[in-house]
Structure 1
């Protein structure tokens, strides 16, 4: 199994920095929207998808919020305009019945075989859930997600009508005329104990935000232990924001520009997207790391996470292409098989990241990387050796 790279799909240029280092400052919600243009820009989405495919990415994430364009439509556009690139389609359980959701994913997969994956995001922002009519609390949402995935997997595999009796879902004679030719991978995100209990049971790939190596090692150990109860061995993903350049000095100069632009736009972007990450365990963990310093390990940079309140994937790796690739490889030595990387200038960075993809993939293939299991090779430095022992790799 080769290392997997996932980028980002978007229907308009959206970034903490306004889409590019030369973009004008944004000072209000209306200006934030105006600076990005129309919400749906078909040509931009097509070019972004093609840039990822040309750079060697395996998939792009189609993200979700209560205000987002319909993800199934966006995913179909990405798949129709590319020949190899896959999609990781985010979906919130609770708004579409699991039997219908299963058929929607299976139908998309039938048109684009083997290129569709499900990313389960249960929802950490109560206010954003409420905008779509869901007033349940987080523990309830994770219990519902557990049942949702029970029914989805049953729908994908049942060749005869089936019944299901749960607290949230009841099915009588459920069946789907379209079944995936091969299993659709299930990715799962969430940092709370409730998330781990549900995700460890169902996830093929458990996704983490970009914490220091020690934190990822702890999280891998936690999820592995919870998954073992169900006889499962999930793979792992880490999400990061690389800031590479020809030299380390140039990369840090670029990082300073990114931070300056982010601080100028932070308030306006929070209003524009109307999201609150303050109650999410993943955001809390990133903010705790940021409070301890701006740089961790070799070059994990947390200043943007601090400036944005750790609104999602917001920790970066700063350095030369070779240095950033080295840091990405450190995560793979812990057993991480998927790297979700996106830039602060999404289209330009998707084009540029081909160099990182090539460097990391060449090294992991040279040492016989096997995805979920770490190959028996000496790690790059003593710090990584200690962490490998911590996760039992």
Structure 2
């Protein structure tokens, strides 16, 4: 398979345009199961399960998704620092073996919201957190693969006779935009996850990570996260984008768009860069749209690719030409978008990727 297509599931119906993250029950079991099955029916390879200091536990959500589907794989977002890497390794390997093997991966989010870090008791500064993530990933990988007990003594962790009787091949995903993040991800990650930025900036990010990975004798693959807005015609797609903007603006001004209780204090380099790009101009590379990014401020994946399914697929495949082999797509109408994309965007991405080769690792 030349590309991997990821979605993202949530435990309740909520996005920038509708629903509430903090009001009502935090987990809607039938909704989660149906959301997961919609991804499987639409031909997605894997779904991301997000992380927040006030969100439902990702490992339990992943188990529910895996048991609701037959082939769909999961990517469990995780913040290093709160659970020992030896324990996380056993949790991952156990879940993987209980669900048939080969369906579990982990995504390391070092954290860029200082207030949210403190909710879980983390008071390390930005640079120290990335050093801890690197050490965590090193120990995690060794625990997942070592057939013999081992000792480890580092800056943040110390183990004697660490060993897991259950092991598995668990892909390590990673995200981050700062120089410290590039150093950590290039040395330890299998897949480096990028937000949807303009092509020129993305090419430079890929070049920097590849150069750093080469210093460690490694090769690495890349993922890109965007929010496609697709319609039958280009005009209808931009009209839909404007409706999404209006709904988001209304919720922002009315206080309805809250992702958790308490304040947010972003130190995320990637989020700051998205804000700068959106302030520079609202549309980059013809159809990379920052309309929602400019409204919601520093945060996660918010840039959209707007157009027909054919136009959006071609725009995303330009990133494939740069070396991106994994695409994470998440809608503003989460379930309905997934169902639609199964009919058009997903097959078009696969067909287009089969017809072109990504830039080589050393490019």
TM-score normalised to the size of structure 2?
0.96
Displacement, 1:268?
3.1
Aligned to 2:359: 374
1:12 is paired with a residue of what secondary structure? coil
Aligned to 1:312: 300
> Are residues 1:251 and 2:240 paired?
no
Does structure 2 conserve the Cα–Cα contact (< 8 Å) formed by 1:99 and 1:152? yes
Aligned to 1:64: 51
CA displacement, residues 218-253 of structure 1 (integer Å, 9 cap, x when unaligned): 100010011111111110011000000000111111
Does structure 2 conserve the Cα–Cα contact (< 8 Å) formed by 1:244 and 1:321? yes
> Are residues 1:353 and 2:338 paired?
no
Q: Closer, same or farther in 2 for the Cα pair 1:241/1:107, shift >3 Å?
A: same
> Are residues 1:175 and 2:163 paired?
yes
Q: Closer, same or farther in 2 for the Cα pair 1:46/1:156, shift >3 Å?
A: same
Displacement, 1:255?
0.4
Displacement, 1:350?
1.1
Does structure 1 conserve the Cα–Cα contact (< 8 Å) formed by 2:114 and 2:266? no
Displacement, 1:170?
0.5
Displacement, 1:275?
6.0
Instruction: Supply the RMSD in Å over aligned alpha carbons.
Output: 1.5
Aligned to 1:230: 216
Aligned to 1:133: 121
Displacement, 1:392?
5.9
1:55 to 42, 59, 64: 42
1:233 is paired with a residue of what secondary structure? coil
CA displacement, residues 78-114 of structure 1 (integer Å, 9 cap, x when unaligned): 0101111100100111000110011001111111210
2:77 is paired with a residue of what secondary structure? strand
Pairing of 1:38-187 with structure 2 (within 5 A): 38-112=25-99, 113-180=101-168, 183-187=169-173
In structure 1, stretches of 5+ residues that fail to align are: 20-30, 376-390
Task: Detail structure 1 runs of 4+ shifted over 2 Å in the superposition.
Answer: 31-34, 266-278
Displacement, 1:175?
0.4
Pairing of 1:239-388 with structure 2 (within 5 A): 239-266=225-252, 267-270=255-258, 272=260, 274=262, 276=264, 278-354=266-342, 355-367=344-356, 369=357, 373-374=358-359
1:324 is paired with a residue of what secondary structure? helix
Q: How far apart, in 2, do the equivalents of 1:8 and 1:138 lie?
A: 26
1:327 is paired with a residue of what secondary structure? helix
1:45 is paired with a residue of what secondary structure? helix
Q: How far apart, in 2, do the equivalents of 1:63 and 1:285 lie?
A: 21
Aligned to 1:5: 5
Aligned to 1:27: none
Displacement, 1:157?
1.1
CA displacement, residues 33-55 of structure 1 (integer Å, 9 cap, x when unaligned): 44xx4211010000100111111
Q: How far apart, in 2, do the equivalents of 1:14 and 1:273 lie?
A: 16
2:55 is paired with a residue of what secondary structure? coil
Does structure 1 conserve the Cα–Cα contact (< 8 Å) formed by 2:22 and 2:259? no
Displacement, 1:374?
2.7
In structure 2, stretches of 5+ residues that fail to align are: none
1:353 is paired with a residue of what secondary structure? helix
Q: How far apart, in 1, do the equivalents of 2:296 and 2:265 lie?
A: 10
Displacement, 1:32?
6.0
Aligned to 1:216: 202
Does structure 2 conserve the Cα–Cα contact (< 8 Å) formed by 1:66 and 1:129? yes
1:110 is paired with a residue of what secondary structure? helix
Q: Closer, same or farther in 2 for the Cα pair 1:47/1:189, shift >3 Å?
A: same
TM-score normalised to the size of structure 1?
0.88
Q: Closer, same or farther in 2 for the Cα pair 1:274/1:257, shift >3 Å?
A: farther
Q: Closer, same or farther in 2 for the Cα pair 1:85/1:32, shift >3 Å?
A: closer
Does structure 1 conserve the Cα–Cα contact (< 8 Å) formed by 2:112 and 2:266? no
Does structure 1 conserve the Cα–Cα contact (< 8 Å) formed by 2:115 and 2:265? no
